[in-house]
A and B are shown apart, each in its own frame.
Chain A
Amino acid sequence: MNCRETQELLHAYFDGELDLVHSLEIERHMDECPNCMTAYQRQQSLRSAVRGSSLYFKAPATLESRLRDRLREVHAAETDRVQRLERTLSPRAIPSQAPARTDLGSSWNRWGLRWSLIGAAAGFGLAAIVISMLVLKPARPTPEQLLAQDVVANHIRSLMPNHLTDVASSDQHNVKPWFNGKLDFSPPVVDLAPEGFPLLGGRLDYLAGRPVAALVYGRRKHLINVFVWPSGESAHDSAGPPKITTIQGYNVLHWTRSGTTYWAVSDVNSKELGEFVRLLQAR
């Protein structure tokens, strides 16, 4: 890594946001480059000055008590609204629809009907809210969901400047050997350029607590990251087509095959990503 690259990534490194591989490269560079080392030390001084100067404004105690009172008021008003709504919905509140005797009566009757319709609609709305609260109560994410989030985070990070590839090449015979000695396994690398998904390169990344291979493919102006690593011994090939999930607008596909775990992530639409995965699996 040279000075320009180091300066570009220095803040991500300084903030502990840089991947392992780049962090090691920066450290190696700074060992040899006094200028970059000084720039790094300046950031440290700046941080200790900012963090050590009591610049954090704690909320005044009066604010919290005032806020608690205000919240109780808002809550009471809200509860009151709900109760009034419930009264409107109770059977007694719906006017009987006696035959109209006078013009005045018929107008009342129309209003009664209208209120009962509004009441019914509000009832459905209320029921929907209650049901959604019961059904959508946040569940603890499963390990697989957490991993899927990491996959998306790594994908997003790879889109930051100079993060995409460590070895940029559309030739699978360049990309595959590049991983030799960097990983304890040899990832399957295929080019799908004829099918419209050109191989752009490869990169070392870190997922599920281990270094993994990241293969980068293009699809028009979109990028696809495929993360590959050996599954544990207990892993079985996933049955059926891989399931697609969407996280933060990115489509994520996961499957296991021949003792290898695959995660594909991209912002291309789910149909095209599914096709890409089918092509990859066919090789």
Chain B
Amino acid sequence: MGGQDKLAQFEQAVLPHLDAAYNLARWLTRQSDDAEDLAQEAYVRAFEAFDGFRGGDARAWILTIVRHTCYTWFKRNRSQELETSFDEEVHSSTSADSTPEAALLADADRETLMRALEELPVEFREALILRELEGLSYKEIAEVAGIPLGTVMSRLARARKLLERSLTGRISKEPER
């Protein structure tokens, strides 16, 4: 393989997924500056590892690297992000105690949704972003997040329940306009 080819091939295969990479980094870090730096760092790492890429799903591949880069950065700069161990017992609930109206949820505005999503613990936030905004399959999410397939389903179920609850709380607290 000629040297020039590597850059051209990389740009062709991986660069089209820059939006996906940035979006994930932006939702993980919740900061646009950090997200730009981390997306770029992830791309440089990906380029250096490109010889080991055997074809296949380039988007899932770069997202795996973005996620890894962000988590490494968390460990250095924001270890509390990874320590928010979510107390399953306290927070888990049966569907009985929160059954917001479907119409109420549909009316949530962008700001409310943003805040509710950003406050989810990072592992639930990333599962929702990958599923709802990136449209990944369970198999791809399992690959990107490095978790078993069964965990993807339970994590999404929990994430949606948390988001519903948070939205219901926010919407009912908002003053009538």
Contacts of A82 in B (CB 8 A): 3
Which A residues form the contact surface with B (CB < 8 A)? 7, 10-12, 15, 17, 38-39, 41-51, 53-60, 63-64, 66-68, 70-72, 74-75, 78-79, 82, 129-130, 133-134, 136, 138, 153, 156-157, 159-161
- C-alpha gap A130/B51 in the complex (Å): 10
Q: 29 A–B contact pairs at CB < 8 A?
A: A11-B153, A15-B153, A15-B156, A17-B138, A39-B95, A42-B99, A42-B102, A42-B105, A45-B106, A46-B163, A48-B106, A49-B106, A50-B117, A50-B132, A53-B108, A53-B109, A55-B114, A57-B27, A58-B22, A60-B32, A60-B36, A63-B18, A63-B39, A71-B43, A78-B3, A133-B51, A134-B1, A138-B56, A157-B149
- Whether A42 pairs with B164 at a CB distance below 8 angstroms is yes
Q: A49-B108, A67-B43 are in contact. List 20 more A-B contacts (CB 8 A).
A: A7-B95, A11-B156, A12-B153, A41-B102, A42-B102, A49-B113, A50-B128, A53-B110, A55-B114, A58-B22, A59-B22, A59-B23, A59-B39, A63-B22, A67-B18, A70-B43, A70-B44, A75-B47, A130-B1, A160-B150
Main SS at interface, chain A: helix
- Whether B7 pairs with A15 at a CB distance below 8 angstroms is no
Residue of A nearest to B54 (CB): A138
Asked whether any CB of chain A lies closer than 8 Å to the CB of B40, the reply is yes
Residue of B nearest to A58 (CB): B19
- C-alpha gap A55/B103 in the complex (Å): 20
- Whether B113 pairs with A74 at a CB distance below 8 angstroms is no
Residue of A nearest to B6 (CB): A75
Asked whether any CB of chain A lies closer than 8 Å to the CB of B139, the reply is yes
Asked whether any CB of chain A lies closer than 8 Å to the CB of B55, the reply is yes
